[in-house]
A and B are shown apart, each in its own frame.
Chain A
Amino acid sequence: MVHGELWTIKELFVLPNEYIYWSIQIVMYPYMTGLVAGAFVLSSLYHVFNVESLKNIARFALVFSFALLPVAMMPLMLHLQQPLRGVHVLMTPHFTSAISAFGIVFLGYGFIVAAEIWFVYRTYIVRNIVRLREKVDRSAGETLLLTIHKIIALGAYDLSEKAVAADHKAVRLLATIGIPVACFLHGYAGFIFGSVKANALWMTPLMPVIFICSAIVSGIALCILSYAVFMEIRKMIAKRSQPGPGQIAELRSIEKHEVHSTARYLLLFMTLAITLELLDVIFRGYTAVKSWDIIREVIYNKDFVKIFIFQYGIGNVLPFILLLLPRLSTRRACLACLLVLFGVFMMRWNVVIGGQAFSLTFAGFMEYHMPVIPTSMETFKEGLTGAVSVAITPFILFYFLNKIFPAFIRDEKH
């Protein structure tokens, strides 16, 4: 069977070679990349602009964005027909291709995040090495951690005031460079679609900007949500180990404070994202070029529920109201974030799958029937199971990363 034939339903006049070639993994790809960029921007708000109220969530967001980082490439690799040749993109980069340029930006961004984490955690790492070295009865896990920390310390054990100050300076510099690079990274993800002139829905210079805004929205929402969940877990652990009401109350107040102040930034970026997306639709309708007839058919008819109910209704308007209502509770904020995440996912879906919903002939339609139960490697990779594996990987990575770079420790700065 031809690639794409398994899940594509054709209607009316569609060219023989046309199928939904970019399936769920290409939906996951800008989604995950967006989460990386968004989480990093959130962490930079504190490091660069000194938004004190985001102090605690910033560190978490940084480590979390590092955990998300390798996952951004995962959907692309799962989608490739020749995954073993994926490295060719770096070996023979073809710079007129947006995917190729994206690979370079992605690598550069990865180095920036890694370097920033290193500077943020250097003091902690050195202290931990000293502590574990002195410890006589080390467990196997502690020995392993000591080895890892010794390797990543890179021999920089200087904890003098001057050295620590230099660290802080480096963090701020990296975070500052990181913001445009993170936006650039996601701008490129949008560029990959926006520059495809053959696709009437994707072809708009607004695409990169729309992608950046919704990326920041999704990244912040995910950070708030996971932060609240992890704090809940910490509260549970605190309760179990030593039932001190003071500590739990403290954790609760930190959590509430962080969630509240982050939610305000979320609202700001949501407004931007929604405005741009609506502007795009209005502009298309107003200019009504040749492709508008078929795009209108897709937007207002075929994908009406997906776009106006799921994406704008449940994913944008509802959480917007939830966040705006007075006396925001952590629980309500979490619900809103969950809906925002769903909304951004639907936006990616509507762009990627919706863009392939109509034929190049402008006379026929195609529908993507996502494989749910995997029957072959292809239906596993480009179906629900593949998407779910991509979605849970960052959390598994975060679990291990958190052991090396604890996201929740509190110290004097950063």
Chain B
Amino acid sequence: MKRREFLKTSLMFVSGASVSLGALEFFDVREVLAAHPEVRWGFLVDTYKCVGCGFCVKACKTENEIPFEANVTRTWVERYVTLNDGRVLADSPKGARDGFTTSKIDRASEGFEDVPQDEISQAFFVPKLCNQCDNPPCVQVCPVGATYQADDGVVLVDRKWCIGCGYCIMGCPYGARFFNPVTHVADKCNFCYHRITKGLNTACAQACPFGARQVGNLKDPDDPITKILLTQRVGILKDEFGTKPQVLYIGLNKEVR
């Protein structure tokens, strides 16, 4: 081969190879989305408005096909009762699926405790659900990546890929996760992802007669919940774990954990 010919072919090869290498650089959807963040789903709970009727729990079970009788739930309501002597009692019988119909406090294996009305200094209800954390420990620990976070912040579970090890259940500081008795894989609240992505409300928020629950886009300054967040004092659960929860509470009490 002549030198001139060698240089020519080498040049052609190098330029050709560099073009194909350039073509290999894929277009990453997530990168583009991150550059233009438009949606970050958040949830606002107004504990002053919740009366513990349990409609939200019922609606959630129906909407998301969590067996009605099963003692697991994607959302639940807790009742806190502070007595005059400073004692704090809390319960959530069946996740408050049927609402709180009695003043007796559920103490699990110890039965129901009757609390005299005149000894109660304060009582309130706190609805709970998956916090769709910004730094979700359940996503971190999943050995197969079946639990993942969507770009709009919602943590989802791939039911076809989950191996059912329970690591995510152990990793969640909020007790939001459980094994679905039908699918036998990890389950949890996903903000009714199938609904909110179509512009609908979540089942629980829709069912709430008092507007204690609201879902919205935290990136949208005109969203009603963003407006409340900007103007009112709100709290989050278990801040110390550094999970950065996206469920925010109005009127959060220190007894709630």
> CB distance B110 to A12 under 8 Å?
yes
Main secondary structure of the interface of B (DSSP, over half): loop
Question: Which single residue of chain A is at the shortest CB-CB distance from B167?
Answer: A99
- In angstroms, how far is the closest chain B Cβ from the Cβ of A16? 4
> CB distance A81 to B141 under 8 Å?
no
> CB distance A97 to B143 under 8 Å?
yes
> CB distance B72 to A16 under 8 Å?
yes
> CB distance B184 to A10 under 8 Å?
no
A21 at the binding interface (Cβ < 8 Å): yes
| Alpha-carbon distance between A94 and B172 when the two chains are bound, in angstroms | 17
Contacts of B72 in A (CB 8 A): 2, 16-17
A242 at the binding interface (Cβ < 8 Å): no
B166 at the binding interface (Cβ < 8 Å): yes
Question: Which single residue of chain B is at the shortest CB-CB distance from A94?
Answer: B145
> CB distance A11 to B108 under 8 Å?
yes
Contacts of B165 in A (CB 8 A): 76, 79-81, 99
Contacts of A11 in B (CB 8 A): 107-110
Contact with A along B160-180 (1 / 0, CB 8 A): 011111110111111111110
Known contacts being A81-B166, A199-B170, is A89 close to B108, with CB within 8 Å? no
- In angstroms, how far is the closest chain A Cβ from the Cβ of B170? 5
A409 at the binding interface (Cβ < 8 Å): no
> CB distance B143 to A103 under 8 Å?
yes
> CB distance B170 to A198 under 8 Å?
yes
Main secondary structure of the interface of A (DSSP, over half): loop
Interface residues of B in 235-257 (CB under 8 A from A): 240-242, 257
> CB distance B145 to A92 under 8 Å?
yes
Contacts of B257 in A (CB 8 A): 360-362
- In angstroms, how far is the closest chain A Cβ from the Cβ of B166? 4
Known contacts being A22-B166, A98-B141, is A3 close to B181, with CB within 8 Å? yes
> CB distance B163 to A364 under 8 Å?
no
Interface residues of B in 123-148 (CB under 8 A from A): 137, 139-146
- In angstroms, how far is the closest chain A Cβ from the Cβ of B156? 14
Which of B161, B163, B173, B241 is in CB contact (< 8 Å) with A80?
B163
Interface residues of A in 78-97 (CB under 8 A from B): 79-82, 85-86, 88-89, 91-94, 96-97
| Alpha-carbon distance between A15 and B77 when the two chains are bound, in angstroms | 10
B191 at the binding interface (Cβ < 8 Å): no
Question: Which single residue of chain B is at the shortest CB-CB distance from A9?
Answer: B109
Question: Which single residue of chain A is at the shortest CB-CB distance from B107?
Answer: A12
B92 at the binding interface (Cβ < 8 Å): yes
Interface size on B, residues (CB 8 A): 49
Contact with B along A353-379 (1 / 0, CB 8 A): 000000111111000000000000000
A196 at the binding interface (Cβ < 8 Å): yes
> CB distance B175 to A94 under 8 Å?
no
> CB distance B181 to A82 under 8 Å?
no
Known contacts being A9-B109, A16-B73, is A97 close to B175, with CB within 8 Å? no
> CB distance A16 to B171 under 8 Å?
no
Contacts of B173 in A (CB 8 A): 197-198, 360
Which of B90, B142, B164 is in CB contact (< 8 Å) with A361?
B90
> CB distance A4 to B179 under 8 Å?
yes
A18 at the binding interface (Cβ < 8 Å): yes
> CB distance B108 to A364 under 8 Å?
yes
| Alpha-carbon distance between A340 and B230 when the two chains are bound, in angstroms | 60
Which of A9, A82, A97, A199 is in CB contact (< 8 Å) with B142?
A97
| Alpha-carbon distance between A5 and B161 when the two chains are bound, in angstroms | 24
| Alpha-carbon distance between A141 and B167 when the two chains are bound, in angstroms | 45
> CB distance A81 to B172 under 8 Å?
no
A338 at the binding interface (Cβ < 8 Å): no
Known contacts being A12-B108, A81-B185, A97-B140, is A21 close to B163, with CB within 8 Å? no
B95 at the binding interface (Cβ < 8 Å): yes
> CB distance A3 to B179 under 8 Å?
yes
B39 at the binding interface (Cβ < 8 Å): no
> CB distance A81 to B179 under 8 Å?
yes
A111 at the binding interface (Cβ < 8 Å): no
| Alpha-carbon distance between A235 and B145 when the two chains are bound, in angstroms | 53
| Alpha-carbon distance between A88 and B145 when the two chains are bound, in angstroms | 9
Q: Which 9 A-B pairs have the closest CB atoms?
A: A81-B164, A15-B175, A198-B173, A99-B143, A16-B95, A10-B108, A94-B145, A3-B179, A17-B178
Provide 19 A-B residue pairs closer than 8 Å at the C-beta atoms, listed in order of the A residue.
A4-B179, A9-B109, A13-B89, A13-B92, A15-B92, A21-B169, A80-B163, A80-B164, A81-B163, A81-B185, A86-B163, A88-B163, A94-B145, A96-B139, A97-B140, A103-B143, A196-B141, A362-B257, A364-B108
What is the interface of chain A, defined by CB distance below 8 A to chain B?
1-5, 9-19, 21-22, 76, 79-82, 85-86, 88-89, 91-94, 96-100, 103, 192, 195-199, 290, 359-364
